[in-house]
Amino acid sequence: MLERVSILLFHGENIITLREYCYSIRSWQTELPCGLIDSGETPDQAAVRKLKEETGYDK
Protein backbone atom coordinates (compact mmCIF):
# COMPACT_ATOMS: atom_id res chain seq x y z
CA MET A 1 0.00 0.00 0.00
CA LEU A 2 1.31 3.44 -0.92
CA GLU A 3 1.23 6.05 1.81
CA ARG A 4 0.65 9.71 0.99
CA VAL A 5 0.78 13.07 2.69
CA SER A 6 -1.25 16.21 2.07
CA ILE A 7 -0.17 19.59 3.40
CA LEU A 8 -2.57 22.17 4.77
CA LEU A 9 -0.43 25.31 5.06
CA PHE A 10 -1.74 28.61 6.35
CA HIS A 11 -0.33 32.06 5.56
CA GLY A 12 -2.19 34.26 8.01
CA GLU A 13 -5.84 33.41 7.43
CA ASN A 14 -5.22 32.08 3.90
CA ILE A 15 -4.62 28.46 2.89
CA ILE A 16 -1.80 27.86 0.41
CA THR A 17 -3.07 25.87 -2.60
CA LEU A 18 -1.75 24.86 -6.01
CA ARG A 19 -3.50 25.66 -9.26
CA GLU A 20 -2.72 23.24 -12.08
CA TYR A 21 -4.18 22.63 -15.50
CA CYS A 22 -5.55 19.09 -15.91
CA TYR A 23 -5.41 18.19 -19.61
CA SER A 24 -7.64 15.11 -19.27
CA ILE A 25 -10.63 17.24 -18.23
CA ARG A 26 -9.46 20.49 -19.89
CA SER A 27 -9.87 22.47 -16.72
CA TRP A 28 -7.89 24.22 -14.00
CA GLN A 29 -7.83 22.43 -10.64
CA THR A 30 -7.08 23.83 -7.20
CA GLU A 31 -5.47 21.34 -4.86
CA LEU A 32 -3.31 20.99 -1.78
CA PRO A 33 0.37 20.09 -2.04
CA CYS A 34 0.60 16.31 -1.63
CA GLY A 35 2.59 13.25 -2.59
CA LEU A 36 3.96 9.85 -1.72
CA ILE A 37 6.01 9.08 1.36
CA ASP A 38 9.37 7.68 0.24
CA SER A 39 10.85 4.56 1.82
CA GLY A 40 12.54 5.42 5.13
CA GLU A 41 10.82 8.80 5.35
CA THR A 42 8.50 9.92 8.13
CA PRO A 43 5.25 11.65 7.16
CA ASP A 44 6.68 14.94 8.48
CA GLN A 45 9.82 14.59 6.34
CA ALA A 46 7.72 13.78 3.28
CA ALA A 47 5.49 16.80 3.90
CA VAL A 48 8.49 19.15 4.11
CA ARG A 49 10.00 17.63 0.94
CA LYS A 50 6.76 17.79 -1.06
CA LEU A 51 6.04 21.34 0.06
CA LYS A 52 9.47 22.47 -1.18
CA GLU A 53 9.19 20.49 -4.45
CA GLU A 54 5.72 21.73 -5.33
CA THR A 55 5.75 25.31 -4.01
CA GLY A 56 9.39 26.27 -3.49
CA TYR A 57 8.56 27.05 0.15
CA ASP A 58 11.48 26.21 2.44
CA LYS A 59 10.77 26.39 6.15
Instruction: Return the domain boundaries, the chain.
Output: 4-55
With a pLDDT cut of 70, the percent of the chain lying above it is 98
What pLDDT does 25 receive? 96
Q: Count of residues for the chain?
A: 59
Q: What is the DSSP string of 5-52?
A: EE--EEETTEEE-EEEEETTTTEEEEE--EEEPPTT--HHHHHHHHHH
* Confidence band of 1 (pLDDT split at 50, 70, 90): confident
Q: Which three-class secondary structure state does DSSP give residue 21?
A: strand
What pLDDT does 41 receive? 97
Distance between CA atoms of residues 30 and 13, nearest Å: 18
Report the pLDDT averaged over residues 12-21. Answer: 94
Contacts of 13 (CB under 8 A, 6+ apart): none
What pLDDT does 59 receive? 67
CB 35 within 8 A of CB 47: no
Report the pLDDT averaged over residues 16-39. Answer: 96
